[in-house]
Amino acid sequence: MAQISFFNTLERRVMPFESIEPGKVKMYTCGPTVYNYAHIGNFRAYMFEDILRRTLEYFGYEVKQVMNLTDVDDKTIRDSKACGLPLREFTAKYKAAFFEDLKTLSIEPAAVYPAATDHIPQMIKLISVLMEKGFGYQAEDKSIYFSIDKFPEYGKLAHIDRENQRSGVRIKNDEYAKDSVADFALWKAWDELDGDVAWDSPWGKGRPGWHIECSAMSSEYLGDHFDLHTGGIDNMFPHHEDEIAQSEAASGKKWVNYWLHCAHLMVNGEKMSKSLGNFYTLRDLIGKGWTGREIRWVLIGAHYRKKLNFTLDALGAARETLGKFDDLFNRMRSVDAAGDGSEVAEAVKGAKEAFANAMADDLNISEALAAMFDLQRTANRLADGGKLTKAGAEQVLAAYRDFDRIVCCLEVDVIREQPTVPAEVIALAEERAAARKNKDFAASDRLRDEIAKLGYQIKDVPGGKYELTALK
Ligand SMILES: [Zn+2]
């Protein structure tokens, strides 16, 4: 098995990846809060996690991925009330939409998608353990809080400076800024804003805090020590920091070995926001005529730790690039010359090695894509010169099938309908072939220009044959 390395946020360095159990990886991913359609910034994170998982599988690991669905928190309650629907009915719609979107983007499904509201007993149990061990306390408002004073390692992930921290300051909101580091809510006592959303607990009627959901559900499905935890960089604090505090305080041991975070997605160089008019859900883009395959290509194109600048131009470029791959695969399928394929064997081997080495090196997608483009150039050059054999072309196709185990949008074996070339154009092309056979190059050139006027480019290939392609 190849040595894979990842940048571990816990240690702020690239380190070799070693799984706890040989050949197996347990991975937890913070999933969506199902109060709206996911936007492409959310999908940037899910796409990074898909590439991570597919890379581990590419190198032979068996991966068990768990992705939670947050279907009770401040936002889901607020918005379900705003549209007058019971919480469960409101979130069901967005859960279904989320699964459809994952399919559109060819994101491999997780093993389990536990929903928070189905795991309230596990959360109550975990909070009870924290209470027994002295990490939790009930405040005057009847809510249960985690005392960060009791957990000296608090801040180790987000590198929090605890010097100025005031002891006993509490925050009930699910999300807050790094400079308001405080005791956070494990269990929120019911108040009228919660409406009919409440469960009974040893501490009275209420609901879980957001952070406890992930600690409870990850240990339910992955145990209390596992390999990988991932998410967007904006989840690092407070969410992931609080998850670590809860899980490690309860178990008394290290929780997760590797934390991987992906950077933000920008749109046209700016932070995506509804007020700037650059806010896109996946559905917005599909509605504009782009395909899941094209959107996937753009979302995988930047290294996960770099900001990804999403533009509609980038989607246009994706369409063009994927079209050129389609052309390459069609061309490879049409090669029928005999031979052993040795003409391209070195290039195929080199591209596969370069691709694998790049992905093993902290998911270096840019270099991996460069290897794919190199092989494309080589294969086209050999085909241009009539030097490619059927055996060679098959090696090329096999290499792209292999790359597509991670990239997953090349669609190597999808035969696309070629636009029908008008009979008039075919007649001129035949006339031109005859002129060339008679070495009448003046006539051949004139006919080529006529064909171009009708919107087609003619290219000569060995054996007196030609290829017609539509001019764009
Ligand atoms: Zn989480």
Q: Is 361 contained in some domain?
A: yes
- Flag whether 171 is in a domain: yes
What is the mean predicted confidence (pLDDT) over 127-132? Answer: 98
Phi, psi torsion values for 272, nearest 5 degrees:
-70, 130
What pLDDT score was predicted for residue 426?
80
Residue 75 banded pLDDT, cuts 50, 70, 90: very high
47 and 188 part of one domain? yes
Average pLDDT estimate for 274-288: 86
Q: Does 52 share its domain with 28?
A: yes
User: What's the gap in Å between 371 CA and the centre of ligand 1?
Assistant: 35
Span from the CA of 403 to the centroid of ligand 1 (angstroms): 31
**Residue 447 belongs to some domain of the structure:** yes
pLDDT at 274 over 80: no
- The alpha carbon of 111 and the centre of ligand 1 are apart by a number of angstroms equal to 16
- 28 C-alpha to center of ligand 1: Å? 8
In a domain, residue 414? The reply is no
* 29 Cα: distance to centroid of ligand 1 (angstroms): 7
pLDDT at residue 237 tops 80: yes
Closest CA relative to residue 232, chosen from 64, 36, 48, 7: 48
pLDDT band at 278 (very low <50, low <70, confident <90, very high): confident
State yes or no: pLDDT of 3 exceeds 90.
yes
**Whether residue 383 is found in the same domain as residue 435:** no
Q: Which residue has the tokens 């290499």?
A: 399
Are both 435 and 381 inside the same structural domain?
Answer: no
Are 74 and 38 in the same domain?
yes
Within-domain flag for 230: yes
**Domain boundary, last residue among 363, 379, 407:** 407
Q: How far apart are CA 197 and CA 205, in angstroms?
A: 10
Between CA 458 and CA 313 the distance in angstroms is 29
Mean pLDDT of the 105-128 span: 98
395 with 338, same domain: the answer is yes
309 membership: H or E segment, kind and range = strand 308-310
Q: Do 119 and 192 share a domain, yes or no?
A: yes
Mode of pairing for the β-strands spanning 24-29 and 265-267: unpaired
CA–centroid distance, residue 68 to ligand 1 (Å): 7
Top-confidence residue, 21 or 417: 21
Res 430 pLDDT > 90 = no
pLDDT of 419 above 60 = no
Contacts of 370 (CB under 8 A, 6+ apart): 354, 358
The pLDDT value given to residue 422: 75
Residue 183 Cα distances to 19, 169, 295, 374, angstroms: 33, 6, 40, 54
In this predicted structure, what is the pLDDT of residue 420?
A: 65
Exposed, middle or buried: residue 59 (CB in 10 Å: 0-12, 13-18, 19+)? middle
Tell me the per-residue pLDDT of 76-106, one tens digit each, with 9 for 90 and over.
999 999 999 999 999 999 999 999 999 999 9
pLDDT band at 124 (very low <50, low <70, confident <90, very high): very high
Domain that holds residue 121: 5-262
Q: If you measure from the C-alpha of residue 286 to the centroid of ligand 1, how many angstroms do you get, rounded to a whole number?
A: 28
Distance 76 CA to ligand 1 centre (A): 15
- Considering only residues 469 and 202, tell me which one the structure prediction assigns the higher pLDDT: 202
pLDDT at 190 > cutoff 60:
yes
Answer yes or no: do 441 and 393 share one domain: no
Please check the confidence at residue 7 and state whether its pLDDT lies above 90: yes
The candidate with the shortest Cα–Cα distance to 296, out of 390, 406, 217, is 406
What pLDDT was estimated at residue 1?
A: 63
Separation of 19 CA from ligand 1 center, angstroms?
21
Q: Which of 246, 262, 278 is the last residue of a domain?
A: 262
For residue 418, being part of any structural domain is answered with no
| Residue 184 host element (H or E) | strand 183-189
What is the predicted pLDDT for the residue at 84? Answer: 93
Inter-residue long-range contacts of 287-293, CB under 8 Å, 24+ positions, other chains counted: 288/312, 290/315, 290/319, 292/104, 292/105, 292/106, 292/409, 293/106, 293/322, 293/409, 293/411
CB count within 10 Å of CB 302 equals 20
CB 337 within 8 A of CB 390: yes
Helices (H), 203-341: 210-222, 241-251, 282-287, 292-300, 312-334
Please indicate, yes or no, if residue 288 is contained in any of the structural domains.
no
Q: Looking at residue 468, what is its pLDDT?
A: 81
Helix axes 423-437, 441-453, angle to 10 degrees: 160
Same domain flag for 150 and 22: yes
* Residue 270 included in any domain: no
Specify the CATH number for the domain of residue 102. Answer: 3.40.50.620
Q: Distance (Å, rounded) from C-alpha 63 to C-alpha 53?
A: 7
Round to whole Å and give the CA distance between 130 and 144: 10
Q: Which amino acid is at 247?
A: S
Give the pLDDT band of residue 171 (cuts 50, 70, 90).
confident
Mean of pLDDT over the chain: 93
pLDDT of 459 reads: 85
30: CA distance to ligand 1 center in Å? 4
Domain total of the chain: 3
Does position 418 have pLDDT exceeding 70, yes or no? no
Alpha carbons 318 and 291: distance in angstroms, whole number? 10
How high is the pLDDT of residue 164?
Answer: 65
3-state helix/strand/coil string of 108-131: CCCCECCEHHHCHHHHHHHHHHHH
As a whole number, mean pLDDT of residues 286-290 equals 89
Q: Is the pLDDT of residue 417 over 80?
A: no
State what percent of residues in the chain have pLDDT above 70.
Answer: 97
pLDDT of residue 121: 98
Calculate how far, in angstroms, residue 248's C-alpha sits from the geometric centre of ligand 1: 15
Q: Does 314 have pLDDT greater than 80?
A: yes
**438-464 pLDDT, tens per residue?**
999 999 999 999 999 988 888 887 767
Question: In angstroms, what CA-CA distances link 253 with 15, 243, 245, 420?
Answer: 21, 13, 11, 66
CA–centroid distance, residue 239 to ligand 1 (Å): 6
Give me ligand 1 centre to Cα 241, in Å.
10
Q: Are residues 230 and 99 in the same domain?
A: yes
Q: Answer yes or no: do 206 and 336 share one domain.
A: no
Residues 363 and 435 both lie in one domain? no
Single-letter code of the amino acid located at 320:
E
CATH number at residue 359: 1.20.120.640
